[in-house]
Amino acid sequence: MHALEQKILTEGIVLSDQVLKVDAFLNHQIDPKLMQQIGVEFAQRFKAAGISKIVTIEASGIAPAVMAGLELDVPVIFARKYQSLTLKDDLYRSKVFSFTKQTESTIAISKKHIAADDHVLIIDDFLANGHAALALVDLIQQAGATVCGIGIVIEKSFQSGRQLLDEKGFHVESLARVKSLTEGQVTFVREESN
Amino acid sequence: MHALEQKILTEGIVLSDQVLKVDAFLNHQIDPKLMQQIGVEFAQRFKAAGISKIVTIEASGIAPAVMAGLELDVPVIFARKYQSLTLKDDLYRSKVFSFTKQTESTIAISKKHIAADDHVLIIDDFLANGHAALALVDLIQQAGATVCGIGIVIEKSFQSGRQLLDEKGFHVESLARVKSLTEGQVTFVREESN
């Protein structure tokens, strides 16, 4: 997705050859118009999949997921990273290890908001090792629901997540595929479909 | 806002005479079309204020804030509740006590994303005692920026927050004003402007 790649090139900050900081438009400050374009793009790529619900993780997944939900006209659920007082229902839980933060956390969604007949699109801001995506897959499969696809805003293609998800047979669509962050430069995977 | 009040009446759950659970469309599952209507309504109410930036708190403030940002064509910043590895910049910090969770946490925004000449609209999902809103005001004022207004999705008018913010002279707009949650029933404050 050209507009997203341009935004990464102009406003992304390469912190190391592993870490790309996009706090200027996605992870802290959010560019609403870019999120809308991202939502339209996800909807375009997954509209044939019969999606009934979108699942993401707080907090940075929410903006792109809600914009995709608006386009696809389906509800969005964000998995919570902790159990709040008002989230007491029976929960599906899964553990996820954050590459960025080097911590393990438990994510959860309420059983009442996902059903066995749901066809779910997972959306997340980053794909690195795939741990977050697989934890979301786990939550959805606990409900007996179907994972129809995984939409990623920024994929770090030099880490193992994409290959892992491909090998498991998931339909993955990443709007920007970062090939490398070496020497402070962002380079992208070039595909015919881009 | 009629559509929001109707949603609260049909899908909100009164957990006690203090706690209204809206996990079906705002705090866990999100209704994207309702969020869009909320964004349009906030933009309508604050469009004359010369807003240059919206500030909210993760996670439930993000969806309504991004929709308002889309309408007002301004960036959105969400204050983070913890310091992540990629959020290392100089930060403005403030403490906030959560009524719902009965815990104190530190929220922070990066100094680089807010400037002294910013005219800021604060958006949050709930207004109870006003602690979260005042912590956001504190962050914005640390930057020397101007708080132009505070937009709340659901105000619990029987708690002290609204009066506190009014007394401090802020322009507060709440899209649903809950007068009472007694006996398991939601009743709303009736205003001419509703």
Residue A65, annotated as binding a ligand? no
Alpha-carbon distance of A176 to A187, in angstroms, equals 10
Of A66, A74, A101, the CB nearest to B63: A66
Alpha-carbon distance A189 to nearest alpha carbon in chain B (angstroms): 23
Nearest to B125 by CA among B4, B33, B18: B4
Express as a percent the part of chain B with pLDDT over 70: 93
Q: Are strands B76-79 and B53-57 parallel, antiparallel or unpaired?
A: parallel
What pLDDT score does A86 carry?
55
Express as a percent the part of chain A with pLDDT over 70: 93
Alpha-carbon distance of A64 to A40, in angstroms, equals 10
Alpha-carbon distance of A46 to B194, in angstroms, equals 39
What stretch of H or E contains B185?
A: none
A63 to B58: CB separation less than 8 angstroms, yes or no: no
Pick the residue from chain B with its C-alpha nearest to A83.
Answer: B101
Let me know: does A84 contact B100? Beta carbons within 8 Å.
yes
Regarding predicted confidence, which is higher, A84 or A16? A16
H helices present in chain A, as ranges? 2-11, 32-46, 62-72, 131-142, 161-167
Alpha-carbon distance of B133 to B55, in angstroms, equals 10
Residue B128, annotated as binding a ligand? yes
Task: Tell me, rounded to whole angstroms, the distance of Cα B181 from its chain centroid.
Answer: 20
B28 to A70: CB separation less than 8 angstroms, yes or no: no
Mutation target to probe the A interface, by most A beta carbons within 10 A, among B22, B27, B30, B139 is: B30
Q: Using 50, 70 and 90 to split pLDDT, how confident is the model at B120?
A: very high
Exposed, middle or buried: residue A154 (CB in 10 Å: 0-12, 13-18, 19+)? buried
What number of CA atoms fall less than 13 Å from residue A184's CA on the CB side? 1
Q: Using 50, 70 and 90 to split pLDDT, how confident is the model at B86?
A: low
Of A15, A25, A75, the CB nearest to B30: A75
Which tokens belong to B173? Answer: 């707009």
pLDDT tens digit string along B46-60?
A: 999 999 999 999 999
**Interface membership of A99 toward B (CB under 8 Å):** no
Q: What domains lie within chain A, and their CATH numbers? A: 2-188 (3.40.50.2020)
- The mean per-residue pLDDT over the stretch A184-189 comes to 97
B100 to A80: CB separation less than 8 angstroms, yes or no: no
A–B interface: beta-carbon pairs under 8 A: 125
What pLDDT score does A102 carry?
77
For the ranges A159-163, A176-180, B56-60, B80-84, the lowest mean pLDDT is seen at: B80-84
**Interface membership of A143 toward B (CB under 8 Å):** no
Alpha-carbon distance of B18 to B178, in angstroms, equals 11
What pLDDT score does B99 carry?
67
Determine the length of chain B.
Answer: 194
**Interface membership of A145 toward B (CB under 8 Å):** no
Alpha-carbon distance of B131 to B121, in angstroms, equals 16
Let me know: does B162 contact B127? Beta carbons within 8 Å.
yes
A75 to B33: CB separation less than 8 angstroms, yes or no: no
pLDDT tens digit string along A2-21?
A: 999 999 999 999 999 999 99
What pLDDT score does B192 carry?
59
ipTM exceeding cut-off 0.90 for this assembly:
yes
Of B30, B78, B100, the CB nearest to A85: B100
Which residues on B lie below 8 Å from A19 (Cβ)?
Answer: 85-86
Pick the residue from chain B with its C-alpha nearest to A85.
Answer: B101
